[in-house]
Structure 1
């Protein structure tokens, strides 16, 4: 356990800048400008002009540029990993893995945009048999991306990559806790073509994000808490600006009696404690059927004892990046214990000023905040259930619906259980594997937000459908006319009844 030091949040300097801090020590890493509404509006205006140029490059031109961007980021991944580690406090290995996953999505979006979004012929149908019909997808224009701090590259790139591949320009407002990552991305893009501001970054605090939502962008991609999402939605409503929102989760794992318990316990430990539990799709609840409950709990507790928080690269995870989250984690643990729960590993004493040791709670009432609200820390509630039906019922008894996981040796059973879980994605015999597969969409329902990033759905999210009809020859029956011929209506009525009324 690394010694705790004073926790501080980003501070604003009189010069209109704010400091990015290393959460492991509170050391100032760099100063960044606070973009006001004028600066944000100017960035969006530049993006508007750049978007027209970017659209004109076509799918092939954009693919070439995006793959060059991919190579530029990947070739300098060591420097980026160092920066991510410094701004978030996570071990460098975790930062490197984040870069790998983000690059996979950028590569997939660049290579698949044309196939998914290009114009395609569709059947005209009997009523419009003289028409040639096609459907294509066009870019929205300028996308505003408001990113989080827990995965400051992977998460926003899930919107940026797909928005760019779809032909949009992007103005990215990174979290005030990780502004350096966003700035690094912009500089890397400009190293390829600094004259075309297709990807711009505006740094600042919450007011900068508000300004971006008001600046006339064509869509906002937001990642953050449900509380902040509601504020962003209110601002977007002023101009009817659409929004895709990923707002966290309270993901559940279901463990069947035939599960590989070693594998399930290891996965639960990774899902609960990885990145200090600061994972929107992390494992916060586990429901284990009674026959294997104690064996699973023992194995998970043993895994937790191998976990070592700290500020060096050999630690399992780093500090809490957001200072105020420490109090939330402490309150959830205290509520669980007050309501009759038991701390199998850790407890309130596991919460320190910067770091939190792993905590495993059990026998926690479903009414506890530790079960009902997102904790976003290295804690997990493990509760016993009578059967899998009860496990599914409890897993679904939440306002969130982002991800879930099922562990069983029977794949058919796992798939059937997955279909019953109310969430945007489910992994069978693994945790959050869907996030590593670029072809799969990611997003939730309820308090977890709406809309999707990644995959074909992610490309569609940042596009608009464009329908086109071209007359091939005059209509044989003139039905869309000021004066319809009685003969044409008789034939149309006969055909209608023949097709639909029998």
Structure 2
């Protein structure tokens, strides 16, 4: 395996609380202009933003690579996915968020009723380091398409990537700063939470999410959270094992395993387990790890993740699990070579806790239903994959898995589909980004009724007539009591 030294960490200035509040104040002014534009005008600006990113993507890709250590091809894929979501949000905001009429019902037949989706104002976004373009774009693009200005705090590990995005917007010479970036550590994130933003979107660990929620609770600032994951991949007896193992290798090892919805647990039906493990080990044993141009994944971006991987592997082995690829010797900071563990107890930290590294546990189950039960036993519930040749089994798994997204006969299939909402349950968070639900997540819902003619029954008055009350009683029993 090819290994080279990791590049130097990048740094960026840390603004004071006052500077963060000033950025939000500027965003407030920008939101007045941006929110007053019609959908067509905002679409034009956002598509120009997309074009700017695409035309100058080479420098963005280099920046992502330098800050995260991921291979250039992986950075390219990330930028492509981000641009896809920016495009979807821009082109679909009008259809999703335009005012729509609703039926008023029998009692309010004299009213016209409608639902409006209005911009919230200023949205704060706190982004992660593992996918510093794609993941925050799921909030940036949809919040902006909904008519909001955004103040974005990237991870302190990827500040230049976040600044690059704000600079790309600024290069369009828009009359207001609809997108700004503030860089720094958790203190800057805390200041953003307290800055008076109208909503906050957070992506990161579950532990940090709880701290962010506590700060936002002080001012009842609403929040959408994408937390951690411990995603399971299920392999049925009827599955195409070659495809399942190939996808499992990518889901577990891609981006050095630093993927919220990556594969960390595999439950394979007993009768095909040996064959599946043989194929999987052949797929991951010789992966190239390092910073060379032909590396298949790079270093661990967050240094402490190396210790987490080591601790979980130690626990798994001490509890009776066994390594069929790699082992403790694979942990060589800042890199971790591929690790495949078998027969690990379900209460081991390697099974129960998020790993965020290039290691995966493979455990045997008697059938697909047991695999679903074990997958659902986790406190996390972000995503899951199921491999089976049975349409009925796939539907059963998709229905029963307690997660926000299910991929059948693939992994991460949702990632490039702009129309699909993304988010989790349990310790994986709440709320949704992407798709129509993502646009509505960053909108304020307003219900409107307009009286068209006098009510047939005068019930909303302090001088009700006995006849009207009698008719209302008759309607209640004869119409609704059927």
Please, what TM-score do these two structures have when normalized by structure 2?
Answer: 0.99
Q: Report how many residues are paired.
A: 482
Contact kept, 8 Å, 1:4 with 1:354, in 2: the verdict is no
Is 1:381 the counterpart of 2:361? The answer is yes
3-state SS of 1:500 partner:
coil
Runs (4+) of structure 1 exceeding 6 A deviation are none
Q: CA deviation at 1:108?
A: 0.3
**1:241-291: CA deviations, max 9, x gaps?**
011011120000110111000000001100000000000000000000111
Q: CA deviation at 1:353?
A: 1.3
Instruction: State the distance in 2 between where 1:405 and 1:418 align.
Output: 9
Equivalent of 2:282, from 286, 289, 302? 302
Aligned to 1:366: 346
Q: CA deviation at 1:432?
A: 1.1
3-state SS of 1:436 partner:
coil
Alignment of 1:453-492 (within 5 A): 453-492=433-472
Contact kept, 8 Å, 2:3 with 2:292, in 1: the verdict is no
Contact kept, 8 Å, 1:4 with 1:352, in 2: the verdict is no
Instruction: State the distance in 2 between where 1:44 and 1:417 align.
Output: 44
Aligned to 1:427: 407
Is 1:187 the counterpart of 2:167? The answer is yes
Instruction: State the distance in 2 between where 1:334 and 1:442 align.
Output: 33
Instruction: State the distance in 2 between where 1:306 and 1:77 align.
Output: 31
Aligned to 1:450: 430
Q: CA deviation at 1:79?
A: 1.2
Equivalent of 2:122, from 142, 157, 176? 142
Is 1:105 the counterpart of 2:123? The answer is no
Is 1:84 the counterpart of 2:64? The answer is yes
Aligned to 1:284: 264
Is 1:254 the counterpart of 2:254? The answer is no
Contact kept, 8 Å, 2:403 with 2:425, in 1: the verdict is yes
Instruction: State the distance in 2 between where 1:2 and 1:187 align.
Output: 35
Q: Gaps spanning 5+ residues in structure 2: where?
A: none
Is 1:62 the counterpart of 2:42? The answer is yes
Aligned to 1:326: 306
Equivalent of 2:248, from 268, 271, 274? 268
Instruction: State the distance in 2 between where 1:148 and 1:98 align.
Output: 13
Contact kept, 8 Å, 2:231 with 2:382, in 1: the verdict is yes
Q: CA deviation at 1:195?
A: 3.3
3-state SS of 1:64 partner:
helix
3-state SS of 2:332 partner:
coil
Instruction: State the distance in 1 between where 2:298 and 2:322 align.
Output: 25
3-state SS of 2:427 partner:
helix
Is 1:116 the counterpart of 2:92? The answer is no
Aligned to 1:34: 14
Q: CA deviation at 1:193?
A: 2.2
Equivalent of 1:199, from 169, 174, 179? 179
Q: CA deviation at 1:3?
A: 4.4
Q: CA deviation at 1:437?
A: 0.7
Contact kept, 8 Å, 1:4 with 1:355, in 2: the verdict is no
Equivalent of 1:49, from 18, 26, 29? 29
Contact kept, 8 Å, 1:334 with 1:348, in 2: the verdict is yes
3-state SS of 1:326 partner:
helix
Q: CA deviation at 1:136?
A: 1.2
CA RMSD of aligned residues (A): 1.0
Instruction: State the distance in 2 between where 1:382 and 1:28 align.
Output: 34
3-state SS of 2:380 partner:
coil
Q: CA deviation at 1:499?
A: 1.1
Instruction: State the distance in 2 between where 1:84 and 1:411 align.
Output: 40
Instruction: State the distance in 1 between where 2:130 and 2:175 align.
Output: 31
Q: Gaps spanning 5+ residues in structure 1: where?
A: 6-23
**1:396-427: CA deviations, max 9, x gaps?**
11000000000011223212112111100100
Q: CA deviation at 1:310?
A: 0.9
Is 1:178 the counterpart of 2:161? The answer is no
Instruction: State the distance in 2 between where 1:188 and 1:260 align.
Output: 44
Equivalent of 1:414, from 391, 394, 397? 394
Q: CA deviation at 1:194?
A: 4.8
Is 1:239 the counterpart of 2:246? The answer is no
